[in-house]
Structure 1
Amino acid sequence: MSVVLFTLGGTIAMAGAGPTGVVTRLTGAELAAAVPGLADLPLQVRDVQAVPSADLTYRRILDLVAEAGAAVADGATGVVVTQGTDTLEETAFLADLVWPHPAPLVFTGAMRNPTLAGPDGPANLLAAVRVAAAPAARDLGVLVAVNDEIHAARYVRKTHSTSTATFASPNAGPLGHVIEGEVRLLTRPARHAPLAVDPDRLANTRVALHTVTVDDDVALLDALAHGRQGLVVAGFGVGHVPPAFAPALGALADRMPVVLTSRTGAGSVLRHTYGAVGSETDLQRRGLINGGLLDPYKAKVLLRLLLAGGADRAGVAAAFARHG
């Protein structure tokens, strides 16, 4: 049994300097050849599309998931995806929401490109391949392997712009570690049933995200929501907004699903602690859907997939109760 590697570019594949900085140049075979110990593991390499992670789309990731699924159907033990880290927390979560297989699908990348001292890409790739090949990693959905840590895609976040320890799971911690080449799992969260998505309908489904700030302009909401089918609000703390926002968000919730999250990046939106205008209790009374532990970026991914799958408001609320 072998692991299949799909490469999408990003810092892990950069080498050499162009006129404006380092550029993506390394193929998957070149990446693999540069990793000590990787030659001992059966690996099939498939270069997909070398693009910055900011240029990835839902459709590209869904197509990749389908290709990865085909590789598993053909006998692959697991699949590894390399990409830029900027959007990895979103793309991995998107893949996790639709990945139906017991085989591991493992995302990884790098913070230091190969032109720098101490690039982390080779170690991350080796760890990811080991995780994808490990029987212990089966039935965990999509994983992120970085810095010898194993994270669930549903929990992981990029928390620092340059640190090699940027990926963390603030609400849960890592699921395990790679220690002396051995995959050690510490916990096994239950998986959710995969979502069904119509890619053609997805293209016409758009969700907006607004992060609330001090002395914010409530007039921005209508403009932001125009032409969208849903809205995610990243509120203060446990899910609060300025009082002037409450009726405006309530009016939007009458037209479309509006999901309430926290802009803090960790912790849950509360449900029934505070009662002032603009509090979590007030906003839920006005029809907003509680995002629970999901951060705003993951909530946006989930909401768009749900709407593209035809979910009504009750279906959206039920899904957020499960995933959040």
Structure 2
Amino acid sequence: MPASSSSPLSSSLPRIVILSTGGTIAGAADARSKGGYNAAAVSAQSLIAAVPGAEEIARIDFEQVAAIGSQDITDAVWLTLARRITELAARDDVDALLVTHGTDTMEETALFLHLTLATDKPVVMVGAMRPSTALSGDGPANLRAALMVATHPESRGRGVMVVLNDTIHGARDVTKTSTTQVETFQSPNLGPLGYVTPNGAVFLRPGTPRITLPLPESAPLPRVSIVHAYAGMDDLLIKAAIDAGARGLVLAGVGDGNAARTVIAALAEAAKAGVVGVRASRCPLGPVLRNIEVSDDALGLVAAGLHNPAKARVLLQVLLANGVTTPTTVQSAFDRTD
């Protein structure tokens, strides 16, 4: 049984299970530098104890799924987390789930869960840019905001949401934009889903129906490599990724997902051999469009649309794990924004 912190005020409050994975939100200061800290050093119970009035929002249970910085998140952790969320969401006595997570790869975990969790119950991811022991640590405020979102009736059916800095983001578009600022998470193309005020969550648009993919059976997921484009690039990295066993390639291209002619030719050659090639962009804004600068139809390539390179990799991994390999079917998945 998970640890619990239930409200003594009312048994009618919604029950939330917090699944902790570590990250900065659970970090503690370290003497190696003025800003140094160690991730995942503080328990979820200690974090929630620092949130004033949490017991008036929900009855809260805790489970520790991992205790790592998010730079160390793996496919195996994703699968463990997804399976546990699925088990808990099936229980009548669980109303919502909250995942504490480091910010560095939060957007990737959020998308993986969004793609593979079939529950309509709210799943909210939350983290912090400052460790729990820092001056003006943002963890308690972010946790309170996440609890308010998780218990809001309009949160059902929206898939996985990310809540930091009083802003609600959808898993498809949210991305980390600053190395240090508390407003680091933005949804640059689609905009946020809503905000959190002292009175509660406010959603800016209704939820939309979404399609989920079956959860892959085991780790590791199919290897998908990201190759970053730059001036003067050749096809060496493309060939190296294929030699390493990549079943998919994501090009973090220039502009509209473009690259030198030799690079595009190498992607097309790989596509003929069954390696799925996706053109994303290193630009932070705007979609990668089909058949504009690159003849995707003729070359057998996929345009990433609004998915940045990191998200394109996650989506392609899940598709490949489910046996989806044809460019047209893969393209249909990339065209979705729900």
Alignment TM class, shorter chain as reference:
over 0.9
- Corresponding residue of 2:37: 22
Aligned 8 A contact 1:78 1:105 in 2: yes
1:17 Cα offset (Å): 2.4
Query: Take 1:306 and 1:142, find their aligned partners in 2: how far apart are those partners?
Result: 18
The 4+ residue runs of structure 1 with deviation greater than 6 A are none
Query: Take 1:16 and 1:161, find their aligned partners in 2: how far apart are those partners?
Result: 18
Gaps of 5+ in 1: 274-278
Query: Take 1:197 and 1:178, find their aligned partners in 2: how far apart are those partners?
Result: 31
Identical-pair percentage: 37
Higher helix residue share: 1
42, 50, 63: which one aligns with 1:34: 50
- Corresponding residue of 2:330: 316
193, 196, 219: which one aligns with 2:214: 196
Aligned residues: 317
Distance change >3 Å, CA 132–CA 63, structure 1 → 2 = same
Q: 92-101 vs 66-75, which deviates more?
A: 66-75
Query: Take 2:100 and 2:234, find their aligned partners in 1: how far apart are those partners?
Result: 39
Amino acid at match of 1:57: T
Query: Take 1:243 and 1:264, find their aligned partners in 2: how far apart are those partners?
Result: 19
Amino acid at match of 1:198: P
- Corresponding residue of 2:9: none
- Corresponding residue of 2:135: 117
RMSD: 1.7
1:52 Cα offset (Å): 0.8
Establish whether residue 89 from structure 1 lines up as the match of residue 107 from structure 2.
yes
1:212 Cα offset (Å): 0.6
Amino acid at match of 1:186: L
Query: Take 2:220 and 2:62, find their aligned partners in 1: how far apart are those partners?
Result: 29
Distance change >3 Å, CA 76–CA 172, structure 1 → 2 = same
1:204 Cα offset (Å): 5.6
Distance change >3 Å, CA 204–CA 64, structure 1 → 2 = closer
Establish whether residue 219 from structure 1 lines up as the match of residue 200 from structure 2.
no
- Corresponding residue of 2:313: 300
Establish whether residue 66 from structure 1 lines up as the match of residue 83 from structure 2.
yes
Query: Take 2:85 and 2:265, find their aligned partners in 1: how far apart are those partners?
Result: 45
Amino acid at match of 1:223: A
Query: Take 2:214 and 2:332, find their aligned partners in 1: how far apart are those partners?
Result: 15
1:67 Cα offset (Å): 1.1
- Corresponding residue of 1:285: 298
- Corresponding residue of 2:15: 2
Q: Deviations over 1:141-167 (max 9, x none)?
A: 000011000000111000000000000
Query: Take 2:211 and 2:143, find their aligned partners in 1: how far apart are those partners?
Result: 28
Q: Deviations over 1:121-180 (max 9, x none)?
A: 000011111111111111100000110000001110000000000000000111001111
Q: Is the partner of 1:8 in helix, strand or coil? A: strand
1:95 Cα offset (Å): 0.5
Q: Deviations over 1:272-319 (max 9, x none)?
A: 44xxxxx32x34421111111111111100101111111131432322
Aligned 8 A contact 2:161 2:168 in 1: yes
1:189 Cα offset (Å): 4.5
222, 239, 257: which one aligns with 1:205: 222
Query: Take 1:209 and 1:288, find their aligned partners in 2: how far apart are those partners?
Result: 15
Gaps of 5+ in 2: 1-13
Q: Deviations over 1:44-102 (max 9, x none)?
A: 11122211111111221222122122222222111000011010010111110011111
User: TM-score w.r.t. structure 1 length?
Assistant: 0.93
